[in-house]
Amino acid sequence: MKIKFAILTGLIIVGLMLVPQLAQAQKRMIQVKGSDTMVNLAQILAEEFMNNNPQTAIAVLGGGSGTGISAIINGTCQIATHSREWKQSEINQAWKKGVKPRFFVIAVDGLSIIVNGSNLIDKLTKDQVGAIYRGEIKNWKVVGGPDMPISLYGRQSNSGTYVFLQEHVLGNKNYSADMKEMNGNAQIIESIMQDQAGIGYVGVGYVLDKQTGKARNGLKVLNISKDAKSEAYSPLDKANIDSGNYSIARALYEAVNGKPGGGVADFLRFEVGPEGQKIVEKEGFFTIGAAHQANNEKNFK
């Protein structure tokens, strides 16, 4: 008898424990996957959104823009975050699989070229950055620095930032084979802080110290000029991004399959709305302008 009673009690306890689980299953689940540059931003946006909408559960994963894009094509996520535009081959592949991607710009990034805080260099031209990453300039001496071999840090080929830089700064040429390929923005930052000869590229949200509003200690964010004649501008100033003076700014996107509905639409509305944009700014990225807003509106319909 005693044993039966114990088993019965056990079953009841297990049953009670399952009740909240079942309630969880009623929740709307949204899987967000992709850009490593955007993963922190998307995570905080998701947390804020879930605070006000407890019936929606949002899970955010990084892995790189390429990973997110292939995930939404394969149907393993509802929202793909990506820091570069889709390649034609990816759009073709999506259509072939019946996925009709729609793109929303949720923030703007001033892609930042960073060096160790002890580096004397303050600015580079866009062409110099390209030549450094193509492996044509191998020593800091050539661009006016000390006699020290340049140690290249970059992202892996699944990264949107890797592709963006290759297209817009390297002139669609190959990266130097000596570039160290890191897992994510955070790893590049850590490496540059330790490496006096290092140069790296990361999203602007990663270089900002949130307390002071300046670049993090031990890091220097280079000013970039369009060419040798023009002035160099910092990506930390929103005015330079808005005016287009900072030449390697880019949009940060989220892609969904078809017309967004339900929780996905609510979440996107929140992100591009005033509350979401406030978070974007707090995280060190820049708010979207009127043109992007208008485009987003079109894609909601």
Partner 1 sequence: MSLFESAQEGRGEAILPGPSGFIERAETTGPRRMKKRASSRLKESAIQAFFFANGILAVVVLIGIFGLLLTSAFPAFKEVPIGHFFTSTKWDPTSPVNAEFGILSMMASTLTVTLGALVIAIPIGLGVAAYLSDVAHWRVREIVKPIVEILAAIPSVVVGFLGIVLFGPVIARIFHQSNGLNAVNGSFLLAIMSLPTIISISEDSLNAVPRAYTEASLALGASRWQTLVRVKIPAALSGITASFMLGMGRAIGETMTVLMATGNARSFPHGLLSSIRTMTANIAIELGEVSYFTTHYYALFAIGLVLFLMTFFVNLIADLILHKYQEREQ
When asked if residue 182 is in the footprint of partner 1 (CB under 8 A), the reply is yes
217 C-beta neighbours (distance < 10 Å), count: 9
Part in contact with partner 1 (CB under 8 A); list of ranges 38-46, 186-194, 237-245, 285-293: 186-194
Span near partner 1 by CB under 8 A; candidates 13-21, 52-60, 78-86, 185-193:
185-193
Least Å from the CB of residue 203 to partner 1: 18
Give the binding range for partner 1 (CB under 8 A) out of 46-54, 156-164, 200-208, 282-290.
156-164
Site membership for partner 1, residue 156 (CB under 8 A): yes
* 166 near partner 1 (CB under 8 A): yes
We find the least distance from the C-beta atom of residue 227 to partner 1, in angstroms, to be 22
Q: Does 53 bind partner 1 (CB under 8 A)?
A: no
Compute how many other C-beta atoms are within 10 angstroms of the C-beta atom of residue 111: 22
Q: Interface with partner 1 includes 184 (CB under 8 A)?
A: no
| Closer CB to partner 1, 149 or 218, in the complex | 149
Nearer to partner 1, 53 or 196 (CB): 196
177 binds partner 1 (CB under 8 A): yes
* Phi, psi angle pair for 144, to nearest 5°: 95, 15
CA distance linking residue 281 with residue 274, whole number of Å: 11
- Rule CB under 8 A: say whether 27 interacts with partner 1: no
User: From the CB of 296, what's the least distance to partner 1, in Å?
Assistant: 26
Least separation, in Å, of the C-beta of 259 and partner 1? 26
Pick 55 or 172: Cβ nearer partner 1: 172
Establish if 183 lies at the interface with partner 1 (CB under 8 A). yes
Chain centroid to Cα 47, Å, comes to 17
Part in contact with partner 1 (CB under 8 A); list of ranges 64-72, 219-227, 263-271, 278-286: 64-72
| Calpha distance 299→278 (Å, rounded) | 22
In this chain, which of 173, 226, 238, 269 binds partner 1, going by CB under 8 A?
Answer: 173
Contact call for residues 162 and 154 (beta carbons, < 8 A): yes
Helices 65-73/160-168 angle, 10° precision: 110
217 binds partner 1 (CB under 8 A): no
Does residue 66 bind partner 1 (CB under 8 A)?
A: yes
Amino acid identity, residue 229? Answer: K
- Of 187-206, binders to partner 1 (CB under 8 A) are 187, 190-191, 194-198
Interface with partner 1, residue 31, by CB under 8 A:
no
Which spans of this chain sit near partner 1 (rule: CB under 8 A)?
Answer: 63-64, 66-67, 69-70, 89-90, 93, 148-149, 151-152, 156-158, 163, 166-167, 172-183, 187, 190-191, 194-198
